[in-house]
Structure 1
Amino acid sequence: MLKNISRFEEALHKREQEGTLRTLKSPTEGIDFYSNDYLGLARNREFQDILLKKINDTPQLLSGSTGSRLISGNSNLVISTEEFIAKKHKFSSALLFPSGYNANLALFSTLPSRHDTIIADEQIHRSVHDACKMSHAKKLKFRHNDLNDLEKVLQRQKGHCYIAIESLYSMEGDFAPLQEIVKLAKQYNADLLVDEAHAFGVFGNGLIEKYGLESEITATVVTYGKALGTHGAAILCNDIIKSYLINFASPFIYSTSAQDFQWMSIKTGYEFLEDHQKLSTRLKENVKAFRSQGLESPSSESSPIQAIIIPDNQKLKMLQKSLFEKGFQTYAIHSPTVKEGTERLRICLHSFNTEEEIIRLTEIIKEFI
């Protein structure tokens, strides 16, 4: 019996009292406005049939990799997939990981040294914060998307700096001022690390490519469990950084490699998206339809993530409950996960949502605000 079990019980009881206790729920039927399946590939029968045929033709794709990639877990397929991804994104190298969390853990815990400083946007993903705990570098935050605050933090540093941002933020649903941050990074000789998890697929191969910034970025992370409808992630970088990660990144060195099915599904996903660009067009039309309903949001107009601020935990719970009862699946974010007064309903729009569903969703929300 664990000696200090009462401490855990007290912490869980406190969360229960605050209404913030997390639990795992069984999947339910409903209209999806909460998943990251922006382009519907996770439910796309045509895409599934292509993957199924490849499995039928090569059933060993489903076998375990048997070890880390430095021992028995490397394969010709993962090597060729990395080469394919690097070429697609116009980087010299790519290194695949089983998930975006693992990729960020590897990147941010390995590149910065004890004499460096990581300067992260305050809205950066939790995986980056966890990686910083593994790193010996100093970590500082700057106010979300605030260029003046970022510059002030940079000015105060004596050693080398790494700037950590997302190109599209998952909670606010807004874009980073990428081009301006690139200029600041250059000015202060800082390295820029960019997480493109929510932009990849929705905006082609991501916003780095859209603005032609490949040569200005030290490394970027793209993930495949969102718009691509599969699983995994890649760090895009140059050959030296890839070799350095292979040699020094604990999450890469000491983790069993994913099975070849994962790498095959990623490469197939890229090819499928290239042949089905109408999915991205349809998503953009749905985002426009949502924004036309007049709901106030801090999110960018073209973002598939739309946050509706409901500054009251109880009111937010009532809204989510009402939506659920009417068949709509949404995600409520309560304080203290976000600052008190900024509680929100996080709405994810998809290519498969209909205009009628979007209008009905907004009508219900308007009844509560």
Structure 2
Amino acid sequence: MPIVTRLVDHLLSERLDTYRQNGLLRQLRTSDGLIDFCSNDYLGFARSSALKAAIQQADVEHANARSGATGSRLLAGQTTLADEVEKELAAFYQTDAALVFNSGYDANLGLLACLPKAGDTLLTDELIHASMIDGARLSYATRRRFRHNDLTDLETQLQQVTGQVFVAVESVYSMDGDLAPLLDLADLCDRYGAALLVDEAHATGVYGEHGEGLVVALGLQKRVLARVHTFGKGLGVHGAVVVGPAVLRDYLINFARPFIYTTALPPHSFLAIRCAHQLVTAQSKSRPQLHDRLNYFRQKAGELLPGASWTDSQSPIQCLITPGNEQARYVANQAQRIGLDVRAILSPTVPAGQERLRLCIHAFNSTAEIDQLLAVLQQALFNEISLRE
């Protein structure tokens, strides 16, 4: 082995060992056979036989389509199908135009990196997703954070900044599960001439008459410059879309590097996106059932775990705070031992002292499964307290 390779190998091993010694090492593992209280498949679309059959039928009907996109959409990757699906998405999300990206990460990265320019100001909630943080870091705008969901802090900063201002938030926060005060945010942005950007990743499919998200549910689609909707969570497929005015679409085609310089999604993915939106429009039971299961969980959790510490979440993301990486791992392992897929979220993904179990409630979880989950959490928390004492 060349000396440089040996030195780099040693360096990487040292860094991994440090992570391992601090209990921070991440590893990949499957969850085959476990009852799902972990995934973002809120409506069960990823396991839906109806959606799978619809996608297979669409593939048959488009048998002459290429297997791969063969290039970026500015080169060989553009298709009539992509244009058709984007027009359908714009109609579904009640806006003028839509542009599909390969993932929600790409969409947020491209949007925040290219939209605010030098001389502009980008104000971001302190708990936005890593993809938005990375996009903000790539922007040449002045960047500031405001305290989570704190309208007073945001207004103070709006009064201090100059140039065009962009405010970036999530409608449903992925690690706390709480909702952004979108009505008040829209009012503030209107008052100070700021443009509001909303990541709807965890609201897509879950809120709105047909799953259009919180912005549409609140009637704010004309007051939000850009929304990012991802398809790999509530809709069970893959990809993402930025929706907004037609000029925004044209702008992103010209300036969003994750769109310009990547191979486009293949036709199969566009067909899957179309089928998922058709199903969520026609599906009348999954969303109400999801909210019924969520209400059941919250009621029973209050009865069985009265002293537990929860984040202020009204969404299907329910987070039980179990401070310390070891404690969080212990409680998650107890659940996994009886066949429940429960995962611990550890620092530094969340701040030290805010380690947690991120529990996702789904339309397909039965009340008996929820009872089983709460029982094991109750026992594990009791044992963990006993061990500390």
The two structures have a TM-score, normalised by structure 1, of 0.97
CA RMSD, aligned part only? Answer: 1.3
Deviation by residue 1:306-360 (Cα, 9 ceiling, x = unmatched): 0001112222111111111100001211122212221110001111100000011
Confirm or deny that 1:298 pairs with 2:308. no
SS of corresponding position for 1:159: coil
Confirm or deny that 1:368 pairs with 2:380. yes
SS of corresponding position for 2:380: coil
SS of corresponding position for 2:320: strand
Superposition map of 1:301-316 within 5 A: 301=314, 303-316=315-328
Residue 18 of structure 2 aligns to which amino acid in structure 1? K
Give the superposition deviation at 1:277. 2.0
SS of corresponding position for 1:118: strand
SS of corresponding position for 1:164: strand
Residue 343 of structure 1 aligns to which amino acid in structure 2? E
Query: Does the CA-based 8 Å contact 1:120-1:141 persist in structure 2?
Result: yes
Give the superposition deviation at 1:153. 1.8
Superposition map of 1:173-188 within 5 A: 173-188=177-192
Residue 266 of structure 2 aligns to which amino acid in structure 1? Q
Give the superposition deviation at 1:273. 1.1
Q: How many residues align?
A: 368
**Percent identity of equivalent pairs:** 40
Confirm or deny that 1:110 pairs with 2:114. yes
- Range with greater deviation from structure 2 (45-54 or 162-171): 45-54
Confirm or deny that 1:246 pairs with 2:266. no
Superposition map of 1:103-252 within 5 A: 103-203=107-207, 204-252=211-259
For the residues of structure 2 that align with 1:49 and 1:148, how far apart are their CA atoms?
Answer: 50
Unaligned runs of 5+ in 1: none
Q: 1:335 aligns with which of 327, 337, 347?
A: 347
For the residues of structure 1 that align with 2:272 and 2:281, how far apart are their CA atoms?
Answer: 14
Give the superposition deviation at 1:27. 4.0
The two structures have a TM-score, normalised by structure 2, of 0.92
Query: Does the CA-based 8 Å contact 1:61-1:259 persist in structure 2?
Result: no
For the residues of structure 2 that align with 1:330 and 1:255, how far apart are their CA atoms?
Answer: 34
SS of corresponding position for 2:319: strand
SS of corresponding position for 2:167: strand
Give the superposition deviation at 1:160. 2.0
Superposition map of 1:81-120 within 5 A: 81-120=85-124
Tell me the equivalent position of 2:56.
Answer: 52
For the residues of structure 1 that align with 2:201 and 2:273, how far apart are their CA atoms?
Answer: 14
Deviation by residue 1:238-286 (Cα, 9 ceiling, x = unmatched): 1111111111111111111110111111111111111112000110011
Give the superposition deviation at 1:148. 0.9
Deviation by residue 1:103-155 (Cα, 9 ceiling, x = unmatched): 11111111100111211111100001111222111221111111111112222
Query: Does the CA-based 8 Å contact 2:121-2:162 persist in structure 1?
Result: no
Query: Does the CA-based 8 Å contact 2:334-2:380 persist in structure 1?
Result: no
Deviation by residue 1:216-249 (Cα, 9 ceiling, x = unmatched): 0110100000010000000001111111111111
Deviation by residue 1:91-112 (Cα, 9 ceiling, x = unmatched): 1100001110111111111110
Query: Does the CA-based 8 Å contact 1:64-1:258 persist in structure 2?
Result: yes
Tell me the equivalent position of 2:338.
Answer: 326
For the residues of structure 2 that align with 1:343 and 1:106, how far apart are their CA atoms?
Answer: 30
Query: Does the CA-based 8 Å contact 2:120-2:142 persist in structure 1?
Result: yes
Query: Does the CA-based 8 Å contact 1:299-1:305 persist in structure 2?
Result: no
Residue 276 of structure 1 aligns to which amino acid in structure 2? Q
- Range with greater deviation from structure 2 (79-88 or 26-35): 26-35
